[in-house]
Amino acid sequence: MITIDPWERAADCDRLMNAATDPTRRAIFAKLRELWVGLGNEQGMMSEGELATEIEIIGRLHADLTEGRDRLH
């Protein structure tokens, strides 16, 4: 069973975007938020396997971008 909610991740990106002082970081989090929102909109039309794959891909990108975020702001 999939436990990651794309909508919660999109909200996390929104918070990170609003907290970022660097315009480049804000833009990165805005694009990442778009990926999560897009996945949230499409998840009802995907198989569980497809959804899990997309969550893994976007989740890895999300983690890479948010690790060490304090030193990036």
Encode pLDDT of 2-61 as tens digits.
789 999 999 999 999 999 999 999 999 999 999 999 999 999 999 999 999 999 999 998
Nearest to 2 by CA among 62, 42, 54, 41: 54
Distance CA 42, CA 50 (A): 11
pTM: 0.84
Residue 8 burial (10 A CB sphere; 0-12, 13-18, 19+): exposed
- The size of the chain, in residues, is 73
Q: Residue 3 class from Cβ within 10 Å (0-12 exposed, 13-18 middle, 19+ buried)?
A: exposed
